[in-house]
């Protein structure tokens, strides 16, 4: 057995031990197929006001520009699915991923732990950990690493566990044993396209970011366009519609991460309590929450938009 294969098996076993759902590895190289697609998407303005998407175009496509001398991209997934829901049906809805502690903190810590393990077993290894915080095309690398296929809603989907998981990477400067992509299993299904209330999935495998409820409620800092009044189906932070209707998510299993357990205060809030939310309460209840990304101003804007 080659050292590359031995090291890869060690890494995957440790990733599983510390809680990652899956782990795959691909060669760190220029994403040639993704380059024209990304350029076209940006040129068409599908990223809306997310101007940061225009930055670091070359780095998004070439991991060797992010980590000097990098040779491998280790892609990992981390489950966040829960069958628990908000207690009050009329309360403004929050995406499942934001029920517990902000995933950036939880997963980054585990990535650092995995990188330290790699160094302890292999030696002088240099690398960086990424959790949705740098110009890395996570889904493309996860697809190349065999973790799933990119579905018609542009989420990464696995036959075994659906799509309710975060994606993260370690980019390292060692050669490893590389995995291969899996087959697309969306078939003729159009459930996600049919269910999207804002028609954000303009065609299979293409999402207009500037029409997505998650974009409006999290990324957009300005007022939400009035054209979308009555189309959010009560989603206040993020949106799970295209995942909820995906047939592959019937295979989703509850996560086992204590820090992702739903905050009891948050999921039990009534519609009235959301409307009466003060900045002081927001800072206290959502101190470690992903809702901080929208800030108090954004959350209250979203609530008002839903009720006006």
- The SS3 assignment for 165 reads strand
Q: What is the pLDDT of residue 205?
A: 94
Q: What is the pLDDT of residue 308?
A: 78
Question: How far is it, in rounded angstroms, from Cα 264 to Cα 269?
Answer: 9
Q: What is the CA radius of gyration of the chain?
A: 20
Which H or E element spans position 59? helix 57-61
Q: What is the pLDDT of residue 209?
A: 86
Question: How far is it, in rounded angstroms, from Cα 120 to Cα 113?
Answer: 11
- Is 226:306 a contact under the CB 8 Å cutoff? no
DSSP 116-128: HHHHHHHSS--EE
Closest to 234 measured CA to CA, from 116, 137, 40, 95? 95
- Cβ atoms within 10 Å of 272's Cβ, excluding its own: 11
Closest to 202 measured CA to CA, from 187, 190, 214? 190
- Cβ atoms within 10 Å of 303's Cβ, excluding its own: 19
Averages of pLDDT over each 10 residues, the chain, 308 residues: 93 98 94 68 59 59 86 97 96 97 95 97 92 81 96 97 97 96 97 98 91 95 95 98 98 97 94 96 92 96 94
Q: What is the pLDDT of residue 20?
A: 98
Q: What is the pLDDT of residue 201?
A: 96
Q: What is the signed CA dihedral for 233, 140, 127, 57, rounded to 10 degrees?
A: -90
- Is 69:154 a contact under the CB 8 Å cutoff? no
Residue 255 makes CB contacts below 8 A (sequence gap 6+) with 79, 80, 81, 82
Question: At 10, phi and psi to the nearest 5?
Answer: -60, -45
- Is 231:198 a contact under the CB 8 Å cutoff? yes
The 8-class DSSP code of residue 217 comes to I
Active site residues: 132
- Is 152:190 a contact under the CB 8 Å cutoff? yes
Q: What is the pLDDT of residue 57?
A: 61
Question: How far is it, in rounded angstroms, from Cα 186 to Cα 190?
Answer: 8
Closest to 291 measured CA to CA, from 233, 48, 162, 269? 269
Q: What is the pLDDT of residue 33?
A: 76
- Is 218:172 a contact under the CB 8 Å cutoff? no
Q: What is the pLDDT of residue 302?
A: 98
Closest to 228 measured CA to CA, from 201, 197, 192? 197
Tokens of 37: 């697609």
């Amino acid at each position: 057995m080659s050292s590359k294969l031995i090291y890869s098996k060690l890494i995957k076993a440790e990733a599983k031990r510390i809680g990652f759902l899956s782990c795959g590895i691909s060669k760190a190289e220029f994403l040639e197929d993704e380059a024209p697609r990304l350029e076209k998407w940006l040129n068409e303005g599908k990223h809306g006001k997310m101007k940061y998407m225009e930055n670091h175009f070359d780095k998004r496509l070439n991991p060797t520009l992010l980590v000097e001398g990098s040779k491998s991209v280790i892609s990992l997934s981390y489950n966040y699915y829960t069958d628990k829901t908000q207690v009050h049906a009329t309360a403004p809805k929050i995406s499942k991923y934001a029920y517990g502690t902000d995933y950036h903190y939880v997963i980054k810590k585990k990535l650092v732990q995995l990188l330290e393990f790699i160094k302890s077993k292999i030696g002088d290894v240099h690398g960086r950990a990424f959790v949705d915080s740098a110009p890395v095309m996570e889904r493309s690398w996860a697809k190349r690493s065999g973790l799933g296929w990119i579905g018609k809603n542009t989420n990464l989907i696995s036959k075994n566990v659906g799509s309710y998981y975060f994606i993260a990477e370690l980019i390292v400067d060692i050669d490893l044993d590389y995995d291969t992509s899996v087959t697309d299993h969306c078939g003729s299904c159009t459930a996600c396209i049919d269910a999207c209330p804002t028609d954000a999935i303009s065609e299979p495998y293409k999402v207009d970011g500037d029409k997505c409820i998650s974009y409006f409620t999290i990324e957009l800092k300005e007022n939400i366009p009035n054209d979308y009044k009555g189309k959010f189906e009560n989603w206040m932070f993020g949106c799970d519609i295209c995942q909820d209707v995906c047939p592959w998510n019937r295979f989703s299993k509850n996560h086992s991460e204590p820090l992702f357990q739903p905050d009891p205060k948050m999921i039990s809030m009534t519609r009235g309590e959301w409307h009466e939310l003060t900045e002081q309460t927001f800072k206290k209840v959502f101190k470690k929450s992903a809702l901080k990304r929208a800030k108090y101003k954004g959350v209250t804007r979203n609530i008002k938009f839903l009720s006006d």
